Amino acid sequence: MPIIIRRATREDCPRILELVRELAAYEKAPQEVTVSLEEFAESGFGDQPVWWGLVAVAPGVSPEEEATDNSAERETIVGFALYYIRFSTWKGERMYLEDIIVTKAMRGKGIGKRLFDRLVEEAKEKKLHGMVWQVLHWNTSAIHFYQKYGASLDAEWVNGSIDW
């Protein structure tokens, strides 16, 4: 099945947010997704976007038909990667990969690799000084995926956050 990797659009936001919720459920934290569709879309496609994204589109597949072959002239987003630019006082501008996910039914087909490879290309095109992300310590499949790229995974840092 041909997969198209393209830039995300505002119209993609409802489906991307569905996948965000799928990822949160996988990470055992579905209650943590509190962003509204309006805020999500405006943050990516408003006057001052703070995130950018890529989507993996499977032509001829609807979300309900992902795991079947009886598809019509439709397409659906079967994966996405969302990033923003962060500044490191040590390294300069770097890409921060917030999320990358491929739907469960479409994993193992090289879609995650294609998304990740395109992110690396984009970071280099933007002359960024690297890419950073987080991965849960128990997500061994993701850890193995990143290790194939020669990524270093740092166990020294503790994440901090404040919510309000």
- Please give the positions annotated as active site: 146
Q: Tell me the C-alpha distance between 126 and 128, whole Å.
A: 5
Please list, in sequence order, all residues whose beta carbon lies within 8 angstroms of the beta carbon of residue 145, skipping any fewer than 6 positions away: 112, 113, 116
First-to-last CA distance in the chain?
A: 44
Q: Tell me the C-alpha distance between 75 and 23, whole Å.
A: 21
Answer for the pair 80, 53: CB distance below 8 angstroms, yes or no: yes
* Angstrom distances, CA of residue 82 to CA of 19, 90, 164: 11, 23, 23
Q: Tell me the C-alpha distance between 79 and 57, whole Å.
A: 7
Beta-sheet strand order (sheet of 52-59): 4-7, 52-59, 75-88, 92-102, 131-133
